[in-house]
Amino acid sequence: MKIKGLIFDLDGVLVSTEKNHFIAWKKTAERLGSDFTEMDNEQLKGISRVDSLKKIITLAGATVSTEYFEELLVFKNEIYLDSIRTLGPGDALAGVLELLQHAKAHDIKLGVGSSSKNANAILELLQIKDLFDAIIDGNGVSAPKPDPEVFLNAAQGMGLSAADCLVFEDAESGILAAKAGGFKVIATGNPHVAELADAYVDTLTDFNLSLYEKSL
């Protein structure tokens, strides 16, 4: 079967910004008098900024006013943005550029389906934004992952149906979103979620599209 479109999650798939998110959330949790571990962070991967903060507040056993909630969102995002300022073309994860180039050479459409409201800025820093036919981010959806909307909108923006596309994800919420939308999913970079997806590769260097198509 021929794949006509590839849809990439951003954080943890195209670029390893998950660590930056983690550090910024850890500092936010400290303001709530709470510790925040990498295990806790697993639950936040792929989910929106607002839903992430709600989980951290629950973990901290805290209650906050609407004003303080907004202040914490700004606080986290400022730390995060400051930490990614120096991202550049060399920071795309292993195998990303090769896979994007392979797709371009074979007339395969490219999309991004990310929960991040900072996705466009990061794609610009990586200097890969122009390669994509559709970019759907946290600003363009009403229902965040695990709802399939972000991936369905990306497929629609590429003029394709879910059955024609492959989604690449690193997070449980993202894999569930893609599966709910009827997509085949390749998990990458996070062995914890491997069994939820149709296939798993440590890095995109290990992914061979022609071989995968033959297995379908």
Q: Residue 133 half-sphere exposure, CB side, CA atoms within 13 Å?
A: 20
Question: CA 169, CA 88: separation in Å to the nearest integer?
Answer: 21
**Least distance to ligand B16, CB of residue 85, Å:** 14
HEC profile of 32-62: CCCCCCHHHHHCCCCCCHHHHHHHHHHHHCC
When asked if residue 118 is in the footprint of ligand B16 (CB under 6 A), the reply is yes
Among 52, 153, 188, 190, binds ligand B16 (CB under 6 A): 52
Binding residue for ligand B16 (CB under 6 A) from 171, 175, 176, 204? Answer: 171
Q: Which of helix, strand or coil describes residue 168?
A: strand
Confirm or reject binding of residue 96 to Mg ion (CB under 5 A): no
Structure tokens at 119: 């996705």
Does residue 129 touch ligand B16 according to CB under 6 A?
Answer: no
User: Of 9, 91, 170, 202, which residue is the catalytic one?
Assistant: 9
Min dist. Cβ of residue 62 to ligand B16 (A): 19
10 binds ligand B16 (CB under 6 A): yes
Measured from the CB of residue 107, what is the shortest distance to ligand B16 in angstroms?
25
* Residue (113 or 215) nearer to ligand B16, CB: 113
Catalytic residue status for 11 = yes
Stretch touching Mg ion by CB under 5 A, among 19-27, 46-54, 103-111, 134-142: 46-54
Cα–Cα distance, 137 to 126 (Å, whole number): 16
Q: Which of 209, 167, 173 is nearest to 188 (CA)?
A: 167
Q: What kind and span of H or E run contains 166?
A: strand 165-169
* Helix pair angle (18-31, 66-84), 10° resolution: 140
Least spacing, CB of residue 17 vs Mg ion, in Å: 9
Tokens of 88: 């550049």
Kindly tell me which of 49 and 109 has the beta carbon lying closer to ligand B16.
Answer: 49
**141 near ligand B16 (CB under 6 A):** no
Q: Is 44 in the site for ligand B16 (CB under 6 A)?
A: yes
Q: 122: which 2 tokens?
A: 């990061």
CA 190 to chain centre: 12
Angle at 167 between CA 45 and CA 97, to 5 degrees: 90
Assess whether 202 carries a catalytic annotation.
no
Q: Could you give the residue numbers annotated as active site?
A: 9, 11
Residues contributing to the site for ligand B16 (CB under 6 A): 9-12, 21, 44-46, 48-49, 52, 77, 114-118, 138, 171, 174
Residues contributing to the site for Mg ion (CB under 5 A): 9, 11-12, 46, 170-171
